[in-house]
């Protein structure tokens, strides 16, 4: 979703929640007759807390998007940034709400990540390579590199069936 549209939707929802919190707080018969004041206060606080949490989740999403961008930039920096690049590619490949990355660039980074000394990085890179490419090759760097040299130019991503 467009960041401006997302911001407007979040702001609108938060305004609606705050409106209902005020309505329940100040309209005497909003909940019907005989509702205890503690129940009304609890409902008002619930609406306010949900509004605050919605704003915080939106901020968190923005921070994660910035973090992913920084990891990608660190990975493009050369030696020493391979682990950061792999983490960025993995996040871009499977991160909900993450900005869409070029699938070819992600495959390049994930194939390099297969050579990592870290077992977890290799496993995640292989899982995402299989998901992105639709090919179920073993987690061996040489096999993936050979396949990638033959198929990189015509690769469109898993959505295209390649």
Q: Domain range holding 31?
A: 1-75
Look up residue 117 and give its DSSP letter: S
Per-residue pLDDT at 100 exceeds 60: no
Do 89 and 157 share a structural domain? yes
Do 90 and 65 share a structural domain? no
Please say whether the beta carbons of 99 and 68 come within 8 A.
Answer: yes
Cα of 75 vs its chain's centroid, Å = 18
Using CA atoms, how far apart are residues 44 and 35, in angstroms rounded to an integer?
A: 13
DSSP result, 4-18: HHHHHHHHHHHHHHH
Residue ending a domain, choose from 75, 100, 120? 75
Residue ending a domain, choose from 23, 57, 75? 75
Using CA atoms, how far apart are residues 150 and 95, in angstroms rounded to an integer?
A: 28
> Nearest Cα to 133, choosing from 96, 106, 95, 99?
106
Do 96 and 70 share a structural domain? no
Do 119 and 41 share a structural domain? no
Per-residue pLDDT at 98 exceeds 50: no
Do 158 and 83 share a structural domain? yes
pLDDT score of 162: 43
Do 150 and 85 share a structural domain? yes
Residue ending a domain, choose from 58, 75, 92? 75
Do 147 and 89 share a structural domain? yes
Do 111 and 55 share a structural domain? no
Do 56 and 105 share a structural domain? no
pLDDT score of 87: 57
Do 118 and 88 share a structural domain? yes
96 pLDDT band, cuts 50/70/90, is: very low
Is the entire prediction scored with pTM above 0.75?
A: no
Do 64 and 11 share a structural domain? yes
Give the count of domains, the chain: 2
Q: What are the pLDDT digits (tens) for 19-68?
A: 888 887 888 777 777 777 788 888 889 989 998 998 898 888 888 877 88
Buried b (16+ CB within 10 A) or exposed e, 37-47: eeebeebbeeb
Do 140 and 66 share a structural domain? no
């Amino acid at each position: 979703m467009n960041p401006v549209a997302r911001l407007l939707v979040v702001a609108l929802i938060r305004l609606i929640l705050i409106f209902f919190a005020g309505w329940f707080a100040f309209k005497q018969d909003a909940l019907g007759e005989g509702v205890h004041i503690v129940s009304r206060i609890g409902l008002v606080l619930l609406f306010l807390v949900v509004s605050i949490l919605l704003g915080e989740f939106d901020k968190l999403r923005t921070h994660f998007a910035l973090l992913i961008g920084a990891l990608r930039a660190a990975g493009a920096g050369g030696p020493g940034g391979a682990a950061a690049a792999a983490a960025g590619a993995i996040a871009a490949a499977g991160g909900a709400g993450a900005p869409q990355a070029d699938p070819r660039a992600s495959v390049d980074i994930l194939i390099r990540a297969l050579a990592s000394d870290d077992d977890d990085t290799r496993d995640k890179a292989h899982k995402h390579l299989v998901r992105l490419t639709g090919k179920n090759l073993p987690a061996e760097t040489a096999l993936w590199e050979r396949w990638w040299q033959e198929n990189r130019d015509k690769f469109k991503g898993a959505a295209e069936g390649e």
